[in-house]
Amino acid sequence: MNKIGQYSYHLPHTPSILSYASTAGKKEGEGPWGAWFDLVVSDTKMGERTWEKGECSFQKHTLRQALKKASLSPDKLDLLLSGDLLNQCTASSYAARDIGIPFFGLYGACSTMAESLALAAMLTEGGFGPYIAAMTSSHFCTAERQYRMPLEYGSQRTPTAQWTATGCGAVLVTPDGNGPYITHVTIGSIQDWGIKDPANMGAAMAPAAYATLRHHFKDTGRTPEDYDLIVTGDLGSLGMQLVRELAERDQMKLGPRYNDCGVMLYDTKRQQVACGGSGCGCSALMLTGPILRQMEQGILHRVLFCGTGALHSPLSLGQKESIPGICHAVALSTDKE
């Protein structure tokens, strides 16, 4: 049995990250981590006629790039696990169609990078590899018109709003590699504290992020000090502050090692993104850009990657429902543990 505690699994065979790739939009490339992405594109339609087809191309390009880095042809891939924010997850499905490999679609909203990576690690641990891919994307223009307003309206944003990242991250997981290793996963259960404002997703997701952190430390017996970086995302500055407050109430000391992908991705003030970044692509870009590279370079050794998602729909909010939040945590390490 791999299970430890109520929400977590230890992966004793330590699935390894074989390769990873990131494709970022123009604005994301202009942020503080622009130089860490594999590719920054100025045309976020990727030469297609629509933003949705463009988002699909982000996925196709990123997966091919990850495969290329691992010197693998697509037909060697055992399984692709991916999802996105579009209705019916079409960026993922059409990308999987054009690559032509076994495919399981996921829906975890902005938690999808963590969900897909956790599942890829669990299935690799279970012997279903050797090559399983985890991927997700988001796109500012597809998300705005689907969740909020057509871009052409030029709607104003509230101070608690976040900016959906345009970008994609893909990770290949394999059983026998040289790391970084995936040592533990903590699976989220949904938390909903009654937030109904879709322009304040940080507050809606913060309770889920904190619950998963609490579960992870309780289940594994670890403390925040055991990590070089604990990164949630995409909570943004307000959601991150709420997690700190919840942690302080319980005397959990997150300290300076705690950060959030939504806070990190952009230069918040200069780039005018209100509370920060959001979207599946936000934590995917931070993971497959700076975080995994810094692990490879020996700057970071142990990282707790906590992807957060808001699982509402415009219709559910129209029906007076609140926003359910979820967070899955993936423990990464440069050592087998």
Where does this chain bind its own copies (CB under 8 A)?
Answer: 1-3, 6-7, 9, 49-50, 52-53, 75, 78-79, 83, 86-90, 93-94, 96-97, 100-109, 115, 118-119, 122-123, 125-128, 130, 187-190, 192, 311-316, 319, 321, 324, 326, 328
Minimum distance from CB of 160 to its own copies (Å)? 20
Q: How many residues are listed for the chain in this entry?
A: 337
Which residue, 22 or 283, has its beta carbon nearer to its own copies?
283
**Cβ atoms of 280 and 240 closer than 8 Å:** no
**Residue 18, SS3?**
strand
Dihedral of the CA atoms 284, 11, 230, 161 (nearest 10)?
Answer: 40
Of the two residues 114 and 264, which places its CB atom closer to its own copies in the complex? 114
Three-state secondary structure string covering 279-323: CHHHHHHHHHHHHHHHHHCCCCCEEEEEEEEECCCHHHHHCCCCC
**Alpha-carbon distances of 280 from 49, 264, 302, rounded to whole Å:** 22, 14, 22
The CB-of-311 to its own copies minimum distance in angstroms stands at 4
Give whichever of 9 and 37 is closer to its own copies, judged by the CB atom: 9
Dihedrals φ, ψ of 256, to 5°? -70, -15
CA distance 94 to 204: 30
Give least dist CB 116 to its own copies, A.
9
Which CB, 65 or 191, lies closer to its own copies?
A: 191
User: In the bound complex, what is the minimum distance in angstroms from residue 267's beta carbon to its own copies?
Assistant: 30
Cα torsion angle, 206, 210, 215, 217, sign: positive
Of 68 and 97, CB closest to its own copies: 97
CB of residue 125 vs its own copies: minimum separation in angstroms? 6
Q: 40 or 282, CB closer to its own copies?
A: 282
Supply the minimum distance, in Å, between the C-beta of residue 221 and its own copies.
Answer: 19
Burial class of residue 255, CB neighbours in 10 A (0-12, 13-18, 19+): exposed
- In terms of CB distance, is 70 or 311 closer to its own copies? 311
How far from 114 is each of 268, 305, 320, CA to CA, in Å?
Answer: 24, 7, 28
**Do 181 and 335 meet the contact criterion of CB atoms below 8 Å apart?**
yes
Residue 225 CB, shortest distance to its own copies, in Å, is: 26
Q: Which two tokens mark 193? A: 């504290």
Joined tokens for residue 257 = 């090692």
CB of 130 to its own copies, least distance (A): 8
